[in-house]
A and B are shown apart, each in its own frame.
Chain A
Amino acid sequence: MADARRYFDEIELGEEYESPGRTVTEADIVMFAGLSGDYNVLHTDAEFMKQSIFGERIAHGLLCLAIQSGLFSRATAPYATLAFGGLRWKFKVPVKIGDTIRLKAKVTGKKDLSKPDRGLITVQRTVLNQRDEVVQQGETDLIVEKRP
């Protein structure tokens, strides 16, 4: 089978991608609380949150960060990623149950690394909700293989 992964050489600076949308449900929040062990009242106590500035439970920031990571893989062919280097991230607007988020991504950095078989790709990512508000934004560094 042909290798559908995209190597460092083939990824162009300025490339842009947009993912499909995904509705964040109560089930997502409950599952994520169970998976992560983060039972903060912000995410799990509907009655307490009625009295808060948000008026209802909000999704975990990291849940939406994880969801956008999945949306990225639905937005473009997979990179030949060797490792995830790190990320710089801002949580701007809370995501509530029933909100639909999508990802816009752009390649903003491409540089060689000391090992000749790989390079660093920086992707700027913007998570938007159904009202086109930026809910999260940041940059991720991916270490991507060069074509052998």
Chain B
Amino acid sequence: MTGTYFEDVVVDNIQVTPAITVTETHVALYLGMTREAPLGSGVVPDVLPLCLVIGLGWRVKDPPLVVLAFVGLDWRIVRELRVGDTVHSRSRILSKRPMRDGGLVVDERTVIDQHGEVVQQGKFTFLVAKRHKEVSA
């Protein structure tokens, strides 16, 4: 499988994704799926940008991390987002730590709007596969 394995993860590597405009459709789909209470016209639910960021993270030049598991998340909402805003994300590898099966990679993600303002920011911790070893259960 193509992808970036644990051994190839470079600390401090920065990647910037393309941007996506958050629409009423995103909000309607999200609210329908989750049954979160709507917050009023034009308001984007706070977890939605986080969901979009994980998808944007795939749309970069480097092969994606070979993620075995999403382990943890530490996330801060900096400002409210409105329908019609356009966001992209920037990721930076903060650290990597080998484990028996794979290794832990901490990836700092920042969500940035069309004005260059930080909207949300936090750390994703992933368990990433090692290259030359089949992972056993």
Contact = CB atoms under 8 A, between A and B. Distances in A.
Given A31-B29, A67-B34, A86-B122, A38 B75 contact: no
The contact size tier of chain A is 35 or more
A20 to B, nearest CB: 10
Nearest to B54: A38
B52 A37 contact: yes
Given A31-B29, A32-B33, A84 B46 contact: yes
Nearest to B69: A91
A50 interface: no
Given A42-B67, A84-B77, A91-B70, A66 B30 contact: yes
B133 interface: no
Interface string A73-104: 11000100001111111110010000000000
Given A31-B29, A74-B35, A84-B46, A89 B75 contact: yes
Nearest to A86: B76
A16 interface: no
B135 A53 contact: yes
Interface in B30-85: 30, 33-37, 45-48, 50-52, 54-59, 64, 67-77, 80
A28 interface: yes
B136 interface: yes
B55 A37 contact: yes
B58 A83 contact: no
A107 interface: no
24 contacts: A31-B29, A31-B33, A37-B54, A38-B51, A53-B137, A60-B54, A62-B47, A65-B50, A66-B33, A69-B34, A69-B45, A70-B36, A73-B37, A74-B35, A84-B46, A85-B77, A88-B75, A89-B73, A89-B74, A90-B71, A91-B70, A91-B71, A91-B72, A94-B69
Given A41-B1, A89-B75, 10 more contacts: A36-B51, A39-B55, A39-B58, A53-B137, A67-B34, A69-B47, A85-B77, A87-B75, A89-B73, A91-B69
Shortest beta-carbon contacts, A-B, top 9: A37-B55, A70-B34, A86-B76, A84-B46, A70-B35, A36-B55, A61-B70, A53-B137, A89-B73
